[in-house]
């Protein structure tokens, strides 16, 4: 028996292919969201609210990715059943998501210069006021200790940031143990500032590089996801019109 083709068989097959693109774009957005949430939390606690946009954009990508995967399933069902109502719903939601993705990409790019220009002074003052020491249990000190050990740096600009800080006034040390190249050595005594003992470079430039990398990853990832969805949006609209 010959295979029966409906007038829209070719378009439906093409749209089914585009639905797989929608699923992939949803997975990309979920990956971006998880990555931004994991890295953005530490950056926000260290750099302050000026870098919180990474968390917000990451959460948005996570939500949009989940919606997009569900939407691809709904779109596939609407295509199979030739349901104009489901196709119209999918089209409208995809357009909204497309606009939000472009917005997220723009925000990720535009807010980075704000971090670069605003965060330095805020981070410097906050470190001098709130940092308590290497073994202190508070979150702020713990995050800074992690950053200094992981990035092999000391302070915001360098070890002199701790001079006159609440840390120095409380402990009498010129720098915390997190600044040392080898924390367990006798030379790491809080006073020896030689290049062989402590890291001379500050953490801000390194944190800024991480922030920039995450901003560009979020921005370009959102744009790639949006471009993958565009053919599906147009094909959904075309099938909706032809079924009318």
How much is the pTM? 0.74
Q: Are 226 and 98 in contact (CB under 8 A)?
A: yes
| Torsion (CA) 222, 205, 138, 48 in degrees, nearest 10 | -50
Report the chain (244 residues): mean pLDDT per 10 consecutive residues: 53 75 89 77 61 77 91 86 88 92 84 72 84 83 87 89 88 89 84 89 85 83 89 86 80
pLDDT of res. 3: 44
In angstroms, rounded to a whole number, what is the distance separating the alpha carbons of residues 223 and 65?
Answer: 13
What is the pLDDT, as a whole number, of residue 2?
42
Task: Report the chain's terminal Cα–Cα distance, integer Å.
Answer: 30
In the prediction, which pLDDT does 99 show?
92
Cβ atoms of 4 and 231 closer than 8 Å: no
Q: 87-106 burial, b if ≥16 CB within 10 A, otherwise e? A: bbbbbebbeebbebbeebbe
- What's the confidence (pLDDT) of residue 243? 81
The per-residue pLDDT for 66 is 92
């Amino acid at each position: 028996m010959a295979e029966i083709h409906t007038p829209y068989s070719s378009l439906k097959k093409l749209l089914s292919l585009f639905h797989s693109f929608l699923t992939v774009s949803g997975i990309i957005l979920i990956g971006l969201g998880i990555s931004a949430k994991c890295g953005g939390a530490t950056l926000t606690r260290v750099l302050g609210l000026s870098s919180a946009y990474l968390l917000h954009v990451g959460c948005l990508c996570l939500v949009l990715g989940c919606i997009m995967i569900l939407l691809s399933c709904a779109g596939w069902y609407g295509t199979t059943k030739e349901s104009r109502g489901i196709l119209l719903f999918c089209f409208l939601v995809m357009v909204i998501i497309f606009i939000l993705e472009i917005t997220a990409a723009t925000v990720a790019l535009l807010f980075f210069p704000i971090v670069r220009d605003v965060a330095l002074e805020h981070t410097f003052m906050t470190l001098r006021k709130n940092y308590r020491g290497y073994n202190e249990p508070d979150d702020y000190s713990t995050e800074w200790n992690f950053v200094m050990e992981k990035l092999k740096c000391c302070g915001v600009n360098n070890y002199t940031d701790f001079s006159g800080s609440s840390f120095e006034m409380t402990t009498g040390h010129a720098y915390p143990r997190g600044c040392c190249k080898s924390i367990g050595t006798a030379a790491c005594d809080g006073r020896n500032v030689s290049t062989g003992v402590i890291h001379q470079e500050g953490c801000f430039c390194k944190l800024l590089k991480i922030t920039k990398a995450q901003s560009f990853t979020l921005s370009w990832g959102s744009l790639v996801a949006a471009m993958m969805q565009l053919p599906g949006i147009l094909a959904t609209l075309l099938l909706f019109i032809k079924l009318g």
